[in-house]
């Protein structure tokens, strides 16, 4: 890998915060590829699942990997992430446009891809339990895989997925994000299961209920509606996500346990 280009700029103020000489040729140095990777989570049957695709070619042929792809020349990373998400899940664009998508962080270790220098902006998405994703027209075939059962992931995707899970767990504490995992109408039991699944701990039912209902704007009751949850037990009232986005005070996970 030849180190020309950027280094040639060192004589003046550098970078976009500095200056690029007029005659600067964008093709003169070893380029960086910029991609997005997606950590898409859902809660399914009491277990956290991530959306993964099976790799067909080397490197890491046969391994699971995060969905993702190149950022196109006229596209922001966020737009690229939304486009890839729509392609991989086969969901209609308007549904994808409404999903919670959040930038996680950027992974830039020089050797994270053995083929060339790839800098990847990772995004985290939380979705309700969707119908099985349709492969996005091309060879890509995305599936929901229970967290921790995927074997070795390609590239540094295991790191990304672990970081994303930790971030989601932390955000549940001080935001109303948990409703993103739920369908439009849900019971408090389902909402509690989201917390229990992501945190890996059991929560006290009455206390959870008290906390959620005491937070203005977290959830709004759907008048008169109720639903049986697990086939057994008293039917539960239905709620919708409210307008609030932050939890004050936060709902802390018990005893700082990480999983």
The footprint of DNA (CB under 7 A) covers 187-189, 192, 204-207, 209-211, 214, 226, 228-237, 249-252, 254
Contacts with a second copy by CB under 8 A: the residue count is: 73
Could you give the C-alpha distances from 39 to 31, 48, 169, in angstroms and in order?
26, 12, 13
The alpha carbon of 246 is separated from its chain's Cα centroid by a whole number of angstroms, namely 19
Among 43, 96, 154, 212, contact with a second copy (rule: CB under 8 A): 154
Among 23, 46, 74, 257, contact with a second copy (rule: CB under 8 A): 74
Among 72, 146, 202, 228, contact with a second copy (rule: CB under 8 A): 72
What b/e string do you get for 93-122 counting C-beta neighbours within 10 Å, with b at 16 or more?
A: eeebeebebbebeebeeeebbeeebbbbbb
Find, among 102, 79, 81, 83, the residue nearest to 93 by Cα.
Answer: 83
Within residues 37-66, the interface with a second copy by CB under 8 A covers: 37, 53, 55-57, 65-66
Nearer to a second copy, 33 or 47 (CB): 33
185 interface partner picked from DNA, a second copy, none, CB below 5 to 8 A per type = none
User: What span, in angstroms and rounded, lies between the C-alpha atoms of 181 and 191?
Assistant: 8
Q: Does 19 bind a second copy (CB under 8 A)?
A: yes
Binding range to a second copy, per CB under 8 A, among 90-98, 117-125, 186-194, 229-237: 117-125
Q: At what angle do helices 188-199 and 157-174 cross, to 10 degrees?
A: 130
Write down the least CB distance from residue 55 to a second copy, Å.
Answer: 7
Binding range to a second copy, per CB under 8 A, among 125-133, 153-161, 202-210, 231-239: 153-161
Using CA of residue 103, residue 203, residue 183, residue 41, what is the dihedral sign?
positive
* N-to-C CA span, the chain: 40
């Amino acid at each position: 890998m030849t180190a020309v280009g950027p280094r040639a700029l060192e004589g003046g103020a550098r970078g976009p915060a500095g200056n690029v000489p007029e005659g600067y040729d964008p093709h003169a140095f070893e380029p960086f590829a910029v991609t997005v990777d997606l950590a898409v989570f859902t809660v399914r049957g009491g277990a956290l699942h991530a959306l993964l695709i099976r790799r067909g070619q080397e490197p890491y042929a046969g391994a699971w990997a995060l969905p993702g792809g190149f950022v196109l020349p006229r596209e922001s990373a966020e737009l690229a992430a939304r486009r890839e998400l729509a392609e991989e899940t086969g969901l209609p664009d308007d549904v994808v446009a409404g999903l919670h998508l959040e930038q996680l962080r950027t992974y830039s270790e020089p050797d994270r891809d053995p083929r060339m220098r790839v800098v990847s902006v990772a995004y985290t998405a939380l979705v309700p339990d969707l119908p099985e994703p349709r492969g996005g027209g091309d060879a890509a075939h995305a599936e929901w895989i229970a967290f921790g059962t995927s074997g070795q992931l390609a590239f540094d995707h295991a790191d990304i997925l672990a970081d994303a899970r930790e971030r989601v767990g932390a955000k549940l504490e001080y935001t109303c994000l948990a409703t993103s995992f739920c369908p439009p109408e849900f019971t408090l039991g389902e909402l509690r299961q989201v917390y229990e699944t992501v945190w890996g701990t059991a929560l006290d039912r009455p206390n959870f209920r008290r906390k959620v209902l005491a937070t203005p704007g977290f959830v709004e009751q759907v008048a008169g509606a109720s639903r049986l949850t697990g086939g057994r037990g008293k039917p539960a009232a239905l709620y919708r996500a409210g307008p609030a986005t932050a939890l004050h005070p936060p709902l802390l996970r018990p005893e700082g346990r990480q999983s």
